C-alpha cells in the first residue's frame, strides 16, 4: 500500500511565440509539455501463493486511484507556421520566417464563455515564463482509477515439462461522460520443455494478451486547452476545455493578409479585433477530443525459443517473436469533407495517381478526434550467444532481424492520417522499424593475485550497430486543402520512404579496484561513449517543399528534385564522443 503526492513545476524558459518551419526548425516557447503537473496517487497491491503438489497457484490484484492536475497553455501567446526560413524561389517566395509570411496561425484565448477578447498584452514576449494568470487559466483536473486481478498456475507436469497458465483482467474508470469504463481480459499460456542431451536443450513457447491503459497524458490535455467547447460527433465525450484554441488562415505572400495578421499579433492584436480586422478564415480549433468508447490498447504476443549450450560455458538462444498491437490510441483530423481529387501526381518512383482533396466539414478550423483505431505488427528473429566469465573472458552477441509495420499510431501532428476516410493508405514501415540490429559486449578481467601492476584490472566494451530508420517525405504545404500543413506528404508518396543512415557506436570502459581493507574497496573508472566519435544522424530534414515530385536534375533543384536545399540534410544527431571518470567507494 502506498500514497504519493507529486508536484512537478515545468515553467517555460521563454514566452515568445512558437514559430516553426514545419518538420524542420522551431524557435520560441516549447508547446509540447505541460507547464506544471500535480499528481495524487493511492495504490494497493497484494498477492497470495499456494503450493499444492506439482502446482503453484498465485492470485493477486492491484488498485490505483490517481488525481491529476495539469496546466497546459498549448498555443499561447500564438503559433505561426512557415514554409521556409529565408526568402527564395517557389514556396519560399510566398511564405518565410524572415518576411513574416506564415501559412497558418494558432492562438489561445482565456475569457469564456465567448473567448473573443480582441487583444493580449505583447509585453509577455519579454518574460522568461508564462504569467500566473495564463498558467492558472489553462488548468484541468481529472480523477481516474485502473485496477486488475490475476490468477496463475505454474504446473510442473513432468520432470521435463512445465506449463504456466493464467488469466488477468484489467479495468479502468474515468468520470462520467469522459471515457466509458473499459475492461481487458488477458489469457496467457507458456511452457518450457527440457529435451536434455549433453547440450541441455530447452524449448520455450508462449502466447498471450497484454492490455494497456487509455493514453492519459493525451486525455489530460483536453481539459486545459485541447478539447474545445463543442463536439463534432455524438460519440465524443463531454469534457470541454477551460480555454479556447483558434486557427486563422488567409492569403499568403508579401503584403497579403497573413503577413498583416502576423505583424498584428506581434503587437498583441488578434485577427478578428474589431478595431483592426484582418480578412480571412478564423475558426475554433480542437486538438484532442476523445471518443467516450476509447478502447484500451492491447498486444497479442507469440514467441518460440530454442535454447541450448553449443560449447562449454556458452548459451545460445534462437527466438521468434511476433507482437500485434490492437486499438492503439492517437488522433486524426475529422474535420474533412471530400471535395474531389487532384490527379496526375507522382510518387518518388515516378508512378502517377490521384490524391483526395477536402473542404472543412464544419465551422471549425481543425478538429482532431482521439480514438483507438490504429494497429502495429512486429515480427522478429532474435539470436543471442552468451559466454559466462571464465578464464578472464566473458562476452555476449545479440542479433535481431525484424520488420515493423503500422498505420501511424503516434499522437503527433506530423503523423496523423492525411485522409480520414482511408487509414489503409497509412500502412507502412514503422518509424521504429530497424531491419537489423547487432550488439556485442565483452569483458576482460585481470588476475587478482599476481602482482601490484596487473591485479584487479577490468576492461569492457559494447559495440552497437543498426540498419537505417525510415522517414516520411513531407510536402511542407497543405496539399489536400484540409487547412492543416504538418502531415501532408509530397505527391502520392506513402509514409516512411526516406531511408536514413545506419547507426554505429563503440563504448569502452576501463576500471581497477583497490582493496583498502577487509570492508572497504575503491574502484577507479574511465568510460567513453561513442569512442570513435561517429556522426550518427537521428533525424533528417525531409520536407520536400513542393506539392509533387520534380524530376531530379531540374535546374534550381537539389536532392531528388526538391527545391529545398536543406532536403535530406541532418536535423538532429546522437551524442558525440563523451568521456567520463569516476571513483566508487564500496563498503
Confidence (pLDDT) at 234:
96
The burial of 113, by beta-carbon neighbours within 10 Å (0-12 exposed, 13-18 middle, 19 or more buried), is given as: exposed
CB 582 within 8 A of CB 527: yes
Spatial CA neighbour of 319 closest among 394, 377, 378: 378
In a domain, 26, yes or no: yes
Give me the pLDDT at residue 92, please.
84
Q: Is residue 309 part of a domain?
A: no
| Residue 258, burial from CB neighbour count under 10 angstroms (0-12, 13-18, 19+) | buried
Q: Are 179 and 219 in contact (CB under 8 A)?
A: yes
**Alpha carbons 414 and 412: distance in angstroms, whole number:** 5
Residue carrying C-alpha cell 475554433 = 284
Residue 1 lies in a domain: yes
Residue 95 included in any domain: yes
Residues 6+ apart with CB under 8 A from 109: 115, 116, 117, 243, 244, 246, 270
**Per-residue pLDDT in tens (0 to 9) along the chain, 587 residues:** 999 999 999 888 888 999 998 777 889 888 778 899 999 999 999 999 999 999 999 999 999 999 999 999 999 999 999 988 888 877 888 899 999 999 999 999 999 999 999 999 999 998 888 889 999 999 999 999 999 999 999 999 999 999 999 999 999 999 999 999 999 999 999 999 999 888 999 999 999 999 999 998 899 999 999 999 999 999 999 999 999 999 999 999 889 999 999 999 999 999 999 999 999 999 999 999 999 999 999 999 999 999 999 999 999 999 999 999 999 999 999 999 999 999 999 999 999 999 999 999 999 999 999 999 999 999 999 999 999 999 889 999 999 999 999 998 887 888 889 999 999 999 999 999 999 999 999 999 988 877 777 788 999 999 999 999 999 999 988 999 988 888 999 999 999 999 999 999 999 999 998 888 888 989 999 999 999 999 999 999 999 989 999 999 999 899 999 998 889 999 999 999 999 999 999 98
Could you give phi then psi for residue 143, rounded to 5 degrees? Answer: -105, 145
Quote the domain boundaries for residue 259: 1-50+60-142+212-292
How far is Cα 385 from Cα 319, in angstroms, rounded to an integer? 12
Tell me the C-alpha to C-alpha distance, in Å, between residue 549 and each of 85, 493, 554, 564: 21, 9, 11, 12
Closest CA to 292 of 223, 236, 239: 236
What does the DSSP 8-state code read for residue 84?
B
Residue 503 falls inside a structural domain: no
- State yes or no: cis peptide before 504, omega within 30 of 0: no
Total domain count, the chain: 1
- Asked if 368 contacts 332 with a C-beta cutoff of 8 angstroms, the reply is yes
Query: Percent helix, strand, coil in the chain (nearest 5)?
Result: 10, 50, 40
Does a structural domain hold residue 533?
no
Instruction: Identify the bridge partners of residue 515 per DSSP, sorted by sequence position.
Output: 521
Contact (Cβ atoms closer than 8 angstroms) between residue 258 and residue 267 = no
What pLDDT, on the 0 to 100 scale, is given for residue 332? Answer: 93
- The DSSP annotation for 327-362 comes to EEEEEEE--EEEEEEEEEEE-TTS-EEEEEEEEESS
| Residue 344 CB-density burial (10 A; 0-12 exposed, 13-18 middle, 19+ buried) | exposed
Inside any domain, residue 156 = no
- Integer-rounded Cα radius of gyration of the chain: 28
Instruction: For residue 82, give Cα distances in angstroms to 25, 41, 249, 348, 476.
Output: 10, 42, 12, 24, 9
Residue 396 in contact with residue 384, Cβ under 8 Å? yes
Amino acid at each position: 500500500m502506498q500514497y504519493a503526492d507529486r508536484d512537478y513545476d515545468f515553467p517555460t524558459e521563454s514566452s515568445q511565440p512558437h514559430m516553426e518551419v514545419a518538420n524542420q526548425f522551431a524557435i520560441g516557447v516549447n508547446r509540447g509539455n505541460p507547464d506544471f503537473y500535480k499528481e495524487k496517487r493511492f495504490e494497493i497491491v497484494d498477492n497470495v501463493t499456494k503450493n499444492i503438489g506439482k502446482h503453484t497457484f498465485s492470485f493477486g490484484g492491484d488498485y490505483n486511484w490517481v488525481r491529476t492536475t495539469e496546466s497546459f497553455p498549448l498555443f499561447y501567446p500564438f503559433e505561426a507556421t512557415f514554409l521556409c526560413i529565408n526568402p527564395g524561389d517557389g514556396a519560399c517566395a510566398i511564405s518565410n520566417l524572415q518576411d513574416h509570411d506564415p501559412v497558418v496561425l494558432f492562438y489561445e484565448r482565456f475569457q469564456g464563455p465567448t473567448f473573443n477578447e480582441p487583444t493580449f498584452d505583447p509585453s509577455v514576449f519579454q518574460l522568461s515564463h508564462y504569467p500566473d494568470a495564463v498558467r492558472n487559466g489553462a488548468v484541468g483536473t481529472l480523477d481516474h482509477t485502473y485496477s486488475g486481478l490475476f490468477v496463475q498456475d505454474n504446473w510442473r507436469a513432468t520432470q521435463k515439462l512445465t506449463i504456466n497458465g493464467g488469466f488477468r483482467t484489467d479495468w479502468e474508470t474515468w468520470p462520467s461522460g469522459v471515457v466509458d469504463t473499459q475492461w481487458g481480459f488477458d489469457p496467457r499460456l507458456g511452457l518450457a520443455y527440457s529435451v536434455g542431451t549433453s547440450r541441455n536443450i530447452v524449448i520455450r513457447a508462449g502466447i498471450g494478451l497484454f492490455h494497456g491503459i487509455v493514453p492519459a497524458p493525451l486525455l489530460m490535455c483536453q481539459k486545459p486547452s485541447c478539447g474545445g467547447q463543442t463536439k463534432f460527433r455524438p460519440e465524443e465525450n463531454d469534457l470541454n476545455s477551460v480555454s479556447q484554441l483558434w486557427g486563422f488562415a488567409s492569403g499568403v505572400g508579401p503584403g497579403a493578409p497573413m503577413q498583416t495578421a502576423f505583424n498584428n499579433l506581434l503587437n498583441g492584436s488578434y485577427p478578428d479585433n474589431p478595431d483592426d480586422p484582418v480578412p480571412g478564415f478564423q475558426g475554433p480549433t480542437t486538438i484532442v477530443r476523445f471518443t467516450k468508447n476509447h478502447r484500451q490498447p492491447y498486444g497479442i504476443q507469440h514467441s518460440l525459443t530454442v535454447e541450448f549450450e553449443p560449447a562449454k560455458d556458452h548459451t545460445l538462444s534462437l527466438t521468434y517473436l511476433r507482437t500485434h498491437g490492437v486499438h492503439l490510441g492517437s488522433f486524426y483530423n475529422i474535420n474533412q469533407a471530400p471535395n474531389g481529387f487532384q490527379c496526375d501526381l507522382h510518387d518518388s518512383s515516378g508512378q502517377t495517381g490521384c490524391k483526395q482533396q477536402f473542404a472543412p466539414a464544419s465551422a471549425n478550423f481543425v478538429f482532431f478526434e482521439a480514438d483507438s483505431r490504429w494497429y502495429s505488427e512486429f515480427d522478429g528473429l532474435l539470436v543471442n550467444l552468451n559466454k559466462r566469465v571464465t578464464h578472464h573472458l566473458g562476452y555476449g552477441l545479440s542479433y535481431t532481424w525484424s520488420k515493423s509495420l503500422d498505420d501511424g499510431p503516434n499522437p503527433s501532428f506530423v503523423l496523423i492520417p492525411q485522409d480520414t476516410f482511408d487509414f489503409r493508405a497509412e500502412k507502412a514501415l514503422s518509424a521504429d522499424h530497424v531491419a537489423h540490429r547487432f550488439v556485442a559486449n565483452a569483458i576482460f578481467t585481470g588476475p587478482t593475485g599476481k602482482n601490484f601492476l596487473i591485479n584487479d584490472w577490468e576492461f569492457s566494451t559494447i559495440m552497437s550497430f543498426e540498419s537505417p530508420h525510415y522517414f516520411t517525405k513531407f510536402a511542407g504545404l497543405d496539399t489536400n486543402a484540409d487547412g492543416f500543413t504538418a502531415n501532408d506528404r509530397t505527391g502520392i508518396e506513402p509514409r516512411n520512404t526516406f531511408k536514413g543512415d545506419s547507426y554505429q557506436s563503440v563504448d569502452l570502459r576501463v576500471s581497477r579496484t583497490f582493496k583498502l581493507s577487509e570492508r572497504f574497496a575503491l574502484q577507479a573508472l574511465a568510460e567513453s561513449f561513442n569512442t570513435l566519435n561517429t556522426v550518427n544522424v537521428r533525424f533528417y530534414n525531409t520536407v520536400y517543399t513542393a506539392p509533387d515530385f520534380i524530376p531530379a536534375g531540374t535546374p534550381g533543384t537539389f536532392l531528388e528534385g526538391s527545391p529545398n536545399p536543406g532536403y535530406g540534410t541532418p536535423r538532429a544527431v546522437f551524442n558525440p564522443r563523451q568521456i567520463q571518470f569516476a571513483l566508487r567507494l564500496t563498503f
